[in-house]
Amino acid sequence: MDENQELTKLEKEWKTHFDRFTAPEPTREMTLDLIQKLKKIEQNQSPVDLRLELETKQNSLSTKDKIVNIFLSQWNFYGTTSWLLTGLVMIAITFTISENTADPLFGFTTWIKWITLLVIAVIGYSFRPKNEGNEIIETLSYYPIIQQMFTRFMIVMGFQLVVALPLCFFIVGRESTILYLVSSFIPVFFFGVVGFVATFWLGQKIGLSLTLIIWFSQVLLKKKLLFQVPGDDYFLVMNMIIFGLSILLLSTILLKNRFSENFK
Amino acid sequence: MQDEEYMRQLSLGIDTAFDTLVFRYHKPLFGYIYRLLHDEKLAEDIVQETLLKIYQQGLKGFVPDQFRPWMYKIATNTCKDYWRKPTSRLEYVTDKDIEGTGQVHPIIDYQLERQWMVESLNQLSIDYRTVLYLRFYQDLKYSEIALALDISINTVKTRIARGLKLLENILIADERERG
């Protein structure tokens, strides 16, 4: 029996149980009263253009307030716990690796691999579609979708980088140098950018799959390409290339924005 | 005449088209919201708010592609807005709450099945309840539920199957309690 047939059978079995949960029914008079009431409310409300009102309110705010508001709206919409949880996972990864590896260089390579995978997961999580009620949808309708996506990207990246950078000291201990900071920052930034840009252009599912393919190709490759550590032959060159590529990818967002404006 | 046609008429200024829609959907909409909130007065307010939004959208000229999923989307979102208010947080049951409480209510006889059904459904999270109510009481197709709740058809099917499975577990737990 396939899943659909099984579900139909299950629904049939439960139909009578559900029929037991009766609900009160409004009378015809109540419906007539409701119609009168609704029309009265609508007539009494001043015919204001809600969109215009929202835009006027937005325009009266300073740039600083606008930026704070968009960050707050995205932070609240996706829930504080979902963001904070990623920090905890990152800390857990760090401790697990630091406790189980004696060689700091090997430990660092393992750590950066897991941290970047986490970044991809968080990007996927934070760009999932969500519906949390009319009020929040109206609040979010203030902002163009491009601004909202970029804000979420900045929250994810800012949060991940703030947590990742001090943790890299924990992994490499006394070996810590500015170069280790660079080699933590750039892969995290790169996978964040790839995840975001791919989601932006290709949608959440394809974008995320593509980013995961890139990540797995790097993990499975015998030759180190993206996950370089200080001391590797092409460490600086490769990190510069990755960083440059990230900036180029990010700038394609501006390109898309310009295209859509010209199109309008 | 189709619901969407009435919305189109409303958008053209034919006010009586809205009356037909209210007559058609007052009862089912009230039933849906009442089952979610378990409070007649509150359900009346939410029904009013939902229909007012539909009326205002129609007057502005908006005609949805599919009326029923759109109406239930507004209704569900209005309930969510209510639950988001700090004073109503207790109403918002989550899966974790179910695992935590482990409350079972014994069924004494067949007549109490309604009470059992209400209490068992109440133990489910709102995500499961909305899907089950839209399917069993509002007779929406999977695709319509998907539209109303902004989820995929597969998620709708999964939630129905899992929701019914959870209810079954509650039933088994009840029977054990009695036995």
B69 Cα distance to chain centroid: 11
pLDDT score recorded for residue B91: 46
The helix (H) or strand (E) run that includes residue B47 is helix B40-60
What is the C-alpha separation between A204 and A212, in angstroms, rounded?
12
pLDDT score recorded for residue B49: 93
Residue-wise pLDDT tens digits, B16-63: 999 999 999 999 999 999 999 989 999 999 999 999 999 988 888 888
Contacts of A1 (CB under 8 A, 6+ apart): A9
Kindly tell me if the per-residue pLDDT of B94 is higher than 50: no
A59 Cα distance to chain centroid: 27
| B121, burial (CB in 10 Å: exposed 0-12, middle 13-18, buried 19+) | buried
Calculate how close chain B gets to A20, using CA atoms only, in Å: 5
Q: Which residues of B touch A79 (CB under 8 A)?
A: none
- Token pair, residue A261, equals 């404006």
In a domain, A12, yes or no: no
pLDDT score recorded for residue A31: 93
Listed by number, the residues of chain A in 129-148 with a beta carbon closer than 8 Å to a beta carbon of chain B are: 129-137
Asked if the C-beta of A43 comes within 8 angstroms of chain B's C-beta atoms, the answer is no
Domain that holds residue A179: 51-263
What is the C-alpha separation between B121 and A44, in angstroms, rounded?
40
Calculate how close chain B gets to A234, using CA atoms only, in Å: 45
In a domain, A207, yes or no: yes
In a domain, A192, yes or no: yes
Taking CA–CA distances from B21, the nearest residue in chain A reads: A35
Name which of A51-55, A94-98, A179-183, B94-98 the model is least confident about: B94-98
In a domain, A46, yes or no: no
Nearest to B95 by CA among B125, B120, B122: B125
pLDDT score recorded for residue B35: 92
What is the C-alpha separation between B40 and B31, in angstroms, rounded?
10
pLDDT score recorded for residue B95: 40
Q: Which residues of A touch B55 (CB under 8 A)?
A: 38-39, 42
Q: The whole model's pTM is what?
A: 0.59
pLDDT averaged over every residue in chain A? 76
| A148, burial (CB in 10 Å: exposed 0-12, middle 13-18, buried 19+) | middle
- B110 versus A70: the higher-pLDDT residue is A70
What is the C-alpha separation between B152 and B149, in angstroms, rounded?
9
The size of the A-B interface in CB pairs under 8 A is 101
Q: Which residues of B touch A42 (CB under 8 A)?
A: 52, 55-56, 59
Q: Which residues of A touch B112 (CB under 8 A)?
A: none
> What is the number of structural domains in chain A?
1
What is the C-alpha separation between B89 and B91, in angstroms, rounded?
5
Residue type at A129 in one-letter notation: P
Candidate from B56, B73, B80 with C-beta closest to A42: B56
Say yes or no for a CB contact (<8 Å) between B27 and A25. yes
Calculate how close chain A gets to B119, using CA atoms only, in Å: 10
Say yes or no for a CB contact (<8 Å) between B53 and A134. yes
State the average pLDDT over residues A159-180: 71
Asked if the C-beta of B56 comes within 8 angstroms of chain A's C-beta atoms, the answer is yes
Residue-wise pLDDT tens digits, B101-144: 444 444 445 557 777 888 888 889 999 999 999 999 999 999 99
Candidate from A21, A30, A132 with C-beta closest to B117: A21
Taking CA–CA distances from B17, the nearest residue in chain A reads: A35
Contact at 8 Å (CB) between B164 and B120?
A: no
Contact at 8 Å (CB) between B83 and B89?
A: yes
What is the C-alpha separation between A230 and A186, in angstroms, rounded?
13
Residue-wise pLDDT tens digits, A179-229: 777 777 788 788 888 888 888 888 778 888 888 888 888 777 767 677 777
Residue B169 sits at the vertex; the CA angle it makes with B165 and B175, to the nearest 5 degrees, is 140
In a domain, A43, yes or no: no
What domains are defined for chain B? Answer: 3-88 (1.10.1740.10), 93-178 (1.10.10.10)
In a domain, A21, yes or no: no
pLDDT score recorded for residue A32: 93
Kindly tell me if the per-residue pLDDT of A28 is higher than 80: yes
Candidate from B22, B40, B149 with C-beta closest to A34: B22
Say yes or no for a CB contact (<8 Å) between B23 and A31. yes
pLDDT classification of B159: cutoffs 50, 70, 90? very high
- Best interface-test mutation with A: which of B22, B26, B132 has the largest number of A CBs within 10 A? B26
Kindly tell me if the per-residue pLDDT of B146 is higher than 70: yes
Residue-wise pLDDT tens digits, A85-103: 666 666 766 666 666 656 6
